[in-house]
Structure 1
Amino acid sequence: MRDSLDVTDVTTALSTALDAVGGDIAYRLCGTGAALHQGVPLPVGDIDILLSGRDDVDRFASALTAFPCLYKASWLADTSQYFTRFSVGGVDFELSTLERHAVSDAMECVGSGPWQHYVLVSCGAHEVPVVRLELRLASELLRDRPDRYGPILDHLSTYGFDADLLRRALAAHDIPARHRRLVRERLP
């Protein structure tokens, strides 16, 4: 894995993997790669692909057998996910499910949120479904990573956001009051 990927690294690896997979598996690009692909300048260490079920992870992984497998598909009980990792052109490419129940539709990788709230971003010959920044912001606030949530706040402040979706995302994660205040100050 490289220290930090730029948009060209992400685009090249993602396009290469999607060329191998074809177009018949539903997925979402999430994590910092999703934010970078939407124009947010963030450090990105890998590409995170969310799939809806274990069979989809296995099918996607099967299409990547020409690339080195760094972590064989397996169940990770501590994170409630079925997970595998490949190296695609030297970029860590992670495939997973997140198998926890969620009542909210405003979580980045759990429940219906990533499947309902996404944008399509061009990536080579592909239109990639990318999880919306409002959901990513809530994940970064929850993790208390100012180097990640700061640039997302800047981007949303400049380009706009769905205030209702952001409110629901903050509530779904039970974001601490100090971070809620920060969001209100930065995104009036």
Structure 2
Amino acid sequence: METSRLAEATAALETTLATLEDAGVDPLYRLGGTGAALLQGVDLPVGDIDLLMSRREEVDAVAAALSSFPCLYAPAWLPESQQYFARFEVKGVDVEISTVERETSSDCMECIGRGPWEHFVLVPCGRFRVPAIRLELRLATELLRDRPDRYEPLLAHMARHGYDPDLLDRATIAHALPPASRLLPR
């Protein structure tokens, strides 16, 4: 794994969490996207840190707490993606804070419905333990987007370290994809 990417992502996330703590802001959140995979040991390119919030008010509270950092996108509703979104630059890394407000009956989507709130692991990030969305949900997203530069490292990591085949299959089926456990040893 490229140590500099991990170090940069960890430093930005730890600084963000320390800033929130200092401001007394304690949102219900999940770390998603490539940042979540990187902190779980997957070697892949990371462009930003994605923090999924449960409510718009939490996005606003986090944005207020991060106001000393460059604001790249002020909190706003994005109707095309059905999310309330903000972006800040923290230690040279984009930190994106958002809700995703689409409904689904599936519990296996990475950013919508109850999936990210039910399927996560706690990963260390400096002195913090961060709730990161499980790799099975991330893999399904990358397979849907057909991004081999992202899904191949996820597949390799999961083949070496294990995975939940039922969760992975439910996640890929929720995206109308074939069951992905066929791509990995059981």
**Is the pair's TM-score, using the shorter chain for normalization, greater than 0.5?**
yes
TM (norm. structure 2) is: 0.93
Amino acid at match of 1:15: E
Checking the alignment, whether the CA contact within 8 Å between 1:84 and 1:95 is kept in structure 2 is: yes
Question: How many angstroms does 1:76 deviate by?
Answer: 0.4
Percentage identity across paired residues of the two chains: 56
Which residue of 159, 167, 170 corresponds with 2:169? 167
Cα-Cα RMSD: 1.2
Correspondence list, 1:1-188, <5 A: 6-22=5-21, 24-175=26-177, 177=178, 180=179, 183-188=181-186
Quick one: distance in 2 between partners of 1:156 and 1:185?
10
Checking the alignment, whether the CA contact within 8 Å between 1:100 and 1:111 is kept in structure 2 is: yes
Could you say what secondary structure the match of 1:33 adopts?
helix
The runs of 4+ residues in structure 1 deviating greater than 2 Å are 185-188
Could you say what secondary structure the match of 1:134 adopts?
helix
1:16 to 1:162, Cα distance in 2 relative to 1, 3 A? same
Amino acid at match of 2:106: S
Q: What is the count of residue pairs matched by the alignment?
A: 180
Quick one: distance in 2 between partners of 1:48 and 1:65?
17
Quick one: distance in 2 between partners of 1:47 and 1:109?
14
Amino acid at match of 1:14: L
Deviations 1:121-157 (A, max 9, x none): 1111110000000000000000000110001011111
Could you say what secondary structure the match of 1:6 adopts?
helix
Could you say what secondary structure the match of 2:26 adopts?
coil
Question: How many angstroms does 1:183 deviate by?
Answer: 4.5
Checking the alignment, whether the CA contact within 8 Å between 2:109 and 2:174 is kept in structure 1 is: yes
Question: How many angstroms does 1:187 deviate by?
Answer: 3.4
Could you say what secondary structure the match of 2:47 adopts?
coil
Deviations 1:52-101 (A, max 9, x none): 11001001111101101000110000000000000001111100000000
Checking the alignment, whether the CA contact within 8 Å between 1:85 and 1:95 is kept in structure 2 is: yes
Checking the alignment, whether the CA contact within 8 Å between 2:165 and 2:181 is kept in structure 1 is: no
Amino acid at match of 1:55: E
Amino acid at match of 2:108: A
Could you say what secondary structure the match of 2:113 adopts?
coil
Give unpaired runs (5+ residues) of structure 1.
none
